[in-house]
Amino acid sequence: MLHRMVKKHIAGTTMSAALAKVEELNRRGIPASITFLTGRVDSKSRTRYVAITYLELIRRISRLGLKASVHIPSEQMGMQVDKDAAAKNISEIISTGNRCGVFVWLEAEKPEVLPIGRLDGARGYGVAFPEHNAKGFAKLRKGPRSAKILFTEDRETKHAKDAMLLKELDGILKGSNNVVLSSPPERLLSSFSNGGKYRGKAALEFKLGYSYKKLGNLAKKGAKVSVNVPFGKDWVDFAMNQVPEGYMRFLANSLLNEKSVEKVEK
């Protein structure tokens, strides 16, 4: 049941499936970012496996001439396992991205998670972070000139916080050459299209499965749009983060009720 709910947001289990989906998006004039869904990374060998996967992904994006970047959650690089090895993997991925002309997004919950100091002078990468930590990342004086702000279902900003977020966005826009808002609340979209204050200043990224019609309408109104394309066999953690909390409670209750009925029938 959970897989049926989220499968439209996942390209498939293989890299080829993800690249095929990106080709489809590119034909519609829509760029993409690609994320590899992997299970728990708790060893140096597992970290290296993930790094090699992203290196191959970058090379294939380049060979196919796709308009796509890669988006890498920092925990996949094994910062909690071996910081030096993780930093080397990240540097290799960014260097390969530079040679292949593929941009790299590094996702982190907090600024101190990423080895920004080890990446001084590196180009072709940006930092992705949750909207509730936008202020902390806006204060970064070194490192990337590109920023991606991540919105999540359970942390969707309320109206009272929208003004504060947009104020922080002003600071990020002043310090960054490239800003992306990933899965922004619908009520903020008008600020980035239709002559809104931020039209053309920040791109909007949506989950795979977002309406092509809505993407087209936003593009016609002057918004820059893109789509995140995840792939991989280890999709459960990703799925849990995509399903709204209220529906998860409904799903849990439904499963419990089904088990109760089974017991009665027996």
CATH number at residue 110: 3.20.20.220
The number of folded domains in the chain is 1
Which segments in the chain show pLDDT lower than 70?
Answer: 1-6, 120, 138-144, 152-164, 175, 235-266
Per-residue pLDDT, 147: 87
User: Which residues are paired to 90 by β-bridges?
Assistant: none
DSSP single-letter state for residue 201: T
Q: pLDDT by residue (tens digit) across 60-81? A: 999 999 999 999 998 898 888 8
Instruction: Look at residue 144 in the predicted model and tell me its pLDDT.
Output: 63
For position 258, what pLDDT does the model report? 47
CA atoms within 13 A on the CB side of 190: 2
Which of 29-60 are b and which e, b meaning 16 or more Cβ less than 10 Å from the residue's Cβ? Answer: ebbbbbbbbbeebeeeebbeebbebbbebbeb
Tokens matching residue 239: 């799925």
pLDDT at 41: 83
DSSP symbol at 243: S
pLDDT of amino acid 56? 98
Strand partners, 214: none
Local structure of residue 108 (DSSP, 8 states) = -
Distance CA(247)–CA(3), nearest Å, equals 14
Domain limits for position 172: 2-265
Do 143 and 162 touch, CB atoms closer than 8 A? no
User: Which element (helix H / strand E) includes 180?
Assistant: strand 178-182
Q: Indicate the SS3 state at residue 32.
A: strand
- Whether this prediction's pTM lies above 0.85 is answered by no
If one counts every other C-beta atom within 10 angstroms of the C-beta of residue 234, the result is 12
Two tokens, residue 237: 């953690």
Residues 6+ apart with CB under 8 A from 179: 146, 147, 148, 149, 169, 172, 173, 201, 202, 203
pLDDT tens, residue by residue, 236-265: 666 655 544 444 444 445 545 544 444 434
Query: Which candidate, 89, 131, 84, 81, places its Cα nearest to that of 106?
Result: 89
Could you identify the residue written with the tokens 């929208």?
A: 162
Q: Are 33 and 69 in contact (CB under 8 A)?
A: yes
Helix axis angle, 44-64 relative to 83-100, nearest 10°?
10
